[in-house]
Amino acid sequence: MFFLKKNNIKEIFIFLNRFWIQIFLIILALWDLRYEMRLLFEHFTFISLFFTVYKHPLAIAVLLLAPGFRIRIFK
């Protein structure tokens, strides 16, 4: 069984405290795209991919820019 040490728990809280807005935005973007992702995983077509990008541009933008959030903060 895996147990977290106090130091690891403290690092997790620091990470969540620093990036809670980005994590929240990513969760909301995935929630917004849940049906389209299921459709894409079951029956992928380029039309459904274009429809997803067309109907959910903000969610797609958040997911595409999410790696840049951490890089800018750590520099």
Q: What is the pLDDT of residues 28-56, one digit of tens each?
A: 999 999 999 998 999 999 999 999 999 99
What the block records as the tokens of 40 is 């894409």
What distance in Å separates the CA atoms of residue 52 and residue 58, rounded to the nearest whole number? 11
| DSSP 8-state code for residue 10 | H
What the block records as the tokens of 31 is 């929630």
pTM recorded for the entire structure: 0.70
- Enumerate residues 6+ apart whose C-beta is below 8 A from 50: none
